[in-house]
């Protein structure tokens, strides 16, 4: 005996009714009221000619009047009466004698009617629901369909309305969006449906290209009678596989529901079944016992051409599901649904515009639509049109809608804001005109990167081309190789670019990729290796990072330390603006700046620069080293190879001023003003800069000579609210030291003066 989830639901509702009314027992009247309120039985009573509303009201009044049933002890769950037990035993006996496998709602009703001493029977008889008339009506219209060879139209309609959506009726009610620019695809679907055998179409395309909308467009064509004669008067029904699975707890229930749906479609005739997310057919309803799944149960019906099916799925699921089931695939004609071009997408949005304006109560400018399509195509490469463009317009309209004002307009500026938010790209980059950041980029960088003006000029010239919108389509914003000795500003320049362009800085230390197999940490483990399906990395660290930050500076620091094979991953990035992970995930790097830094040739230049001064370019050792390390195909994809020079004295002084300026800012919280004399600057240049080590030792020397003694004075002598002068002073014949002299500041409140001047001496041999 199979349990029926409908019966369980009705009994559960009866128990909840009793508990809501604080009754100690669940009576026949509770069960009858729950049965009447069960939607299929309610509809049956209406079609029979009874009034379920009146029965409901009288049962409700009767139960409210049963004060003796109220449980004053407030028990947790009400108990079932003996009458309830008799009803279910009687219903079970009816099922067994009838040779059936499961109990139906009519069995419960018949068992209730048999209880002569009950108000439940009385209310049914009062409203004319008698056994002599109701049972034949039920058997004629609501008996199990698999027991009756011929299904009537009313039964078919009821089944389809329970498990499917009438898409044609939605088109009649004007609840579907207009389908624009898909005439070729719709014509191809109509041609497939005209076939004598296997007239089933499978729509395959990327998510967001409009597969479901095309199926809805077919229903609209049928409604408008813009189809050939053989398709006139057809209906498109959308099947929801989830509704078949819902409540199917026991073996056979899912199969029975699906058989009912197929039988209903065959009975109604002139029906097209649309199955969205068709890959879910495979395995649906099979359970753990190896039974038939949805796909295998559907095969006979579509093979015999009893029903016409239009299904849709993505390319990824198509390869995983349909191609593996060749028997299912041969019953469908595959139709590729491609992403519409920008012009078509603009037409689609213009068609949706009136509905969006009405829904959001805003006005949408036509230029905003054009810009939404353009920016979505440019900056949202991980999604497809028209879906991503519709998302942009809808999001901009929603922003205005929540303001709850009249006369609001969605403009191009609002589209810029939404693209910036959704695509995680700064608004300054999104705007078509040159922003202040771009105009001031040259001066902002040169104020903080010293001695490399020629490098800044060359790199920014390439970036200006991209910001002007006339760069090569599909390539990154720039691909650069920075060469030069350590400490000359290569990494610093990359950081300044990211900071001044509001870009994310993604830095990869290439010393971590010295072995050939370590490339897997960037792109993901190959198939068959541990970590291949690691969803946390999304195919690898590089793939994951660029997915989160599509507008970023990719800094591959000290590229010469990586294995030469690692450089192969840059080929596709620099040429096509894309990079594919080991698991097939593709990310777009068109809005990234790719920078590789290297010390290639620096050691040879150090050995060979006798008589050539500080200019790195005079030896040319780095050119040979680059050719030896990088393959020709990679060098050919670089936009620019720039060489950082060793720093001159003036540039080194500016770096000292930069470091001391940062220290001065940190002292403001102590109300201390730091002044560094020129003599000390000269000394720092002398002892803190090494042509082989670059400017990095300067920071350490400033820590040693200034920060350490100053910090001691701040901690132990509470130095604050004063001017501190740092000077290089002579204290003996051949001995010099850093002198830190403080002069008090006058306080704003009372004009009081702090302690006298202080001299801190850090002795050092000249």
pLDDT digits (tens, 9 = 90+) for 362-382: 999 999 999 999 888 878 877
Res 555 pLDDT > 90? yes
Res 554 pLDDT > 90? yes
Between 521 and 33, residue with greater pLDDT: 33
Res 759 pLDDT > 80? no
Res 746 pLDDT > 60? no
Query: pLDDT value at position 274?
Result: 92
Mean pLDDT, residues 204-228 taken together: 90
Res 201 pLDDT > 80? yes
Domains with residue ranges and CATH for the chain? 5-143 (1.10.1780.10), 155-336 (3.40.50.300), 342-423 (1.10.8.60), 436-643 (3.40.50.300), 649-765 (1.10.8.60)
Query: pLDDT value at position 381?
Result: 76
- Chain Cα centroid distance, residue 315: 18
Most confident of 53-62, 133-142, 158-167: 53-62
Res 680 pLDDT > 70? yes
**C-alpha distance across the termini of the chain, in Å:** 103
- State both tokens at 296: 């295998």
Query: pLDDT value at position 756?
Result: 35
Task: Give the pTM.
Answer: 0.64
Most confident of 212-226, 429-443, 674-688: 212-226
Query: pLDDT value at position 549?
Result: 85
Mean pLDDT, residues 407-429 taken together: 84
Helix, strand and coil in the chain, % to nearest 5: 50, 15, 35
Mean pLDDT, residues 91-111 taken together: 82
Between 604 and 594, residue with greater pLDDT: 594
pLDDT tens per residue across span 49-82: 899 999 999 999 999 888 888 876 666 788 888 9
Query: pLDDT value at position 61?
Result: 92
Q: How confident is the model at residue 606 (pLDDT cuts 50, 70, 90)?
A: low
Angstrom distance (rounded) from CA 675 to CA 660? 9
Query: pLDDT value at position 607?
Result: 56
Res 433 pLDDT > 60? no
Angstrom distance (rounded) from CA 100 to CA 191? 45
Angstrom distance (rounded) from CA 542 to CA 540? 6
Between 212 and 610, residue with greater pLDDT: 212
Query: pLDDT value at position 603?
Result: 59
Q: How confident is the model at residue 22 (pLDDT cuts 50, 70, 90)?
A: confident
Angstrom distance (rounded) from CA 184 to CA 182? 6
Which 8-state DSSP code applies to residue 407? S
Query: pLDDT value at position 629?
Result: 78
Mean pLDDT, residues 81-88 taken together: 90
Lowest mean pLDDT among 386-395, 505-514, 517-526: 517-526
Query: pLDDT value at position 75?
Result: 64
pLDDT tens per residue across span 617-636: 445 666 787 888 788 888 88
Kindly give the residue spans of alpha helices, DSSP state H, lying in 694-756.
Answer: 696-702, 708-716
- State both tokens at 494: 């990359």
Query: pLDDT value at position 745?
Result: 61
pLDDT tens per residue across span 254-296: 777 788 888 888 888 888 999 888 777 765 545 544 456 677 7
Res 533 pLDDT > 90? no
Between 543 and 430, residue with greater pLDDT: 543
Query: pLDDT value at position 736?
Result: 55
Pairing of strands 235-239, 271-275: parallel
Query: pLDDT value at position 614?
Result: 46
Res 480 pLDDT > 60? yes
DSSP string, 532-562: TT-TTTTTSHHHHHHHH-SSEEEEEETGGGS
Yes or no: say if 538 and 585 are a contact pair by the CB < 8 Å rule.
Answer: yes
Percent of the chain with pLDDT over 90: 16
Q: How confident is the model at residue 248 (pLDDT cuts 50, 70, 90)?
A: low
Q: What is the three-class DSSP state of 236?
A: strand
Percent of the chain with pLDDT over 70: 83
Query: pLDDT value at position 59?
Result: 92
CA nearest neighbour of 109 among 126, 93, 88, 78:
88
- Chain Cα centroid distance, residue 689: 49
- State both tokens at 244: 């078949």
Between 595 and 253, residue with greater pLDDT: 595
Query: pLDDT value at position 137?
Result: 85
Between 32 and 448, residue with greater pLDDT: 32
For all residues of the chain together, what is the average pLDDT? 80
Mean pLDDT, residues 168-175 taken together: 90
Res 535 pLDDT > 80? no
DSSP string, 460-480: HHHHHHHHTT-SPTTS-SEEE
Sequence-separated (6 or more) residues with CB below 8 Å from residue 239: 163, 164, 261, 273, 274, 275
Res 732 pLDDT > 60? no
Res 764 pLDDT > 60? no
Query: pLDDT value at position 560?
Result: 86
Angstrom distance (rounded) from CA 202 to CA 332? 6
């Amino acid at each position: 005996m199979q349990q029926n989830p409908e019966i369980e639901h009705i009994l559960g509702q009866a128990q909840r009714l009793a508990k809501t009314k604080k009754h100690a027992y669940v009576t026949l009247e509770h069960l009858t009221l729950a049965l009447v309120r069960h939607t299929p039985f309610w509809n049956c009573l209406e079609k029979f000619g009874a009034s379920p509303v009146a029965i409901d009201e009288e049962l409700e009044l009767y139960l409210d009047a049963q004060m003796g049933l109220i449980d004053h002890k407030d028990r947790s769950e009400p108990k079932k009466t003996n009458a309830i037990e008799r009803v279910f035993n009687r219903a079970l006996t009816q099922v067994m004698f009838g040779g059936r496998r499961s109990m139906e709602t009519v069995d419960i009703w018949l068992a209730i009617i048999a209880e002569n001493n009950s108000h439940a029977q009385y209310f049914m008889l009062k409203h004319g629901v008698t056994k002599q008339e109701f049972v034949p009506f039920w058997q004629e219209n609501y008996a199990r369909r698999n027991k009756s060879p011929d299904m009537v139209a009313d039964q078919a309609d009821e089944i389809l309305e329970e498990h499917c959506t009438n898409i044609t009726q939605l088109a009649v009610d004007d609840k579907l969006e207009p389908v624009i620019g898909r005439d070729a695809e719709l014509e191809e679907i109509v041609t497939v449906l005209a076939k004598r055998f296997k007239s089933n179409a499978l729509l395959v395309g990327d998510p967001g290209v409009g597969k479901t909308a095309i199926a809805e467009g077919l229903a609209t064509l049928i409604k408008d009678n813009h189809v050939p004669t053989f398709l006139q008067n057809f209906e498109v029904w959308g099947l929801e596989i989830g509704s078949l699975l819902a409540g199917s707890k026991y073996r056979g229930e899912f199969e029975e529901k699906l058989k009912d749906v197929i039988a209903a479609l065959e009975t109604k005739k002139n029906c097209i079944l649309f199955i969205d997310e068709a890959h879910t057919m495979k395995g649906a309803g099979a359970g753990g016992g190896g039974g038939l799944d949805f796909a295998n149960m559907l095969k006979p019906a579509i093979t015999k051409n009893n029903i016409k099916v239009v299904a849709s799925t993505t390319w990824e699921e198509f390869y995983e599901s349909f191609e593996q089931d060749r028997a299912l695939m041969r019953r469908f004609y595959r139709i590729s649904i491609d992403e519409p071009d920008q012009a078509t997408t603009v037409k689609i949005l213009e068609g949706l515009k009136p509905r969006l304006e009405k829904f959001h109560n805003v006005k949408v400018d036509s230029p905003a639509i054009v810009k939404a399509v353009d920016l979505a195509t440019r900056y949202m490469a991980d999604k497809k049109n028209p879906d991503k463009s519709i998302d942009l317009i809808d999001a901009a309209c929603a922003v205005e809608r929540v303001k709850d004002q009249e006369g609001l307009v969605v403009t191009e500026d609002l589209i810029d804001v939404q693209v910036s938010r959704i695509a995680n790209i700064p608004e300054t980059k999104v705007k078509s005109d040159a922003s202040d950041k771009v105009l001031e980029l040259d001066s902002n960088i040169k104020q903080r990167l010293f001695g490399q003006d020629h490098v800044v000029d060359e790199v920014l010239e390439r970036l200006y081309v991209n910001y002007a919108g006339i760069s090569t389509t599909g390539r990154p914003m720039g691909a650069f190789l920075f060469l030069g000795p350590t400490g000359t500003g290569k990494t610093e320049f990359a950081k300044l670019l990211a900071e001044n362009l509001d870009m994310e800085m993604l830095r990869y230390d290439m010393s971590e990729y010295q072995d050939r197999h370590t490339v897997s940490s960037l792109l993901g483990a190959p198939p068959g290796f541990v970590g291949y399906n690691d969803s946390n990395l999304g195919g690898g660290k590089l793939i994951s990072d660029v997915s989160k930050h599509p507008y970023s500076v990719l800094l591959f620091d000290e590229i010469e330390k990586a294995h030469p094979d690692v450089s192969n991953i840059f080929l596709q990035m620099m040429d096509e603006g894309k990079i594919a992970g080991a698991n097939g995930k593709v990310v777009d790097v068109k809005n990234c700046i790719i920078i590789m830094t290297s010390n290639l040739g620096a050691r040879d230049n150090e050995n060979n620069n006798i008589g050539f001064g500080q200019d790195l370019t005079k030896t040319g050792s780095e050119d040979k080293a680059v050719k030896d390390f990088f393959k020709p195909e990679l060098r050919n994809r670089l936009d620019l190879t720039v060489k950082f020079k060793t720093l001159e004295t003036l540039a080194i002084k500016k770096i000292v001023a930069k470091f001391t300026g940062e220290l001065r800012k940190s002292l403001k919280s102590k109300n201390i003003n730091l002044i560094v004399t020129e003599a000390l600057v000269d000394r720092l240049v002398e002892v803190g800069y090494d042509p082989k080590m670059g400017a990095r030792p300067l920071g350490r020397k400033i820590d040693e000579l200034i920060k350490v003694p100053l910090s001691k004075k701040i901690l132990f002598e509470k130095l604050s609210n004063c001017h501190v002068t740092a000077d290089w002073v002579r204290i003996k014949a051949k001995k010099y030291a850093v002198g830190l002299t403080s002069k008090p500041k006058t306080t704003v409140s009372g004009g009081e003066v702090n302690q006298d001047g202080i001299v801190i001496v850090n002795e050092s041999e000249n």
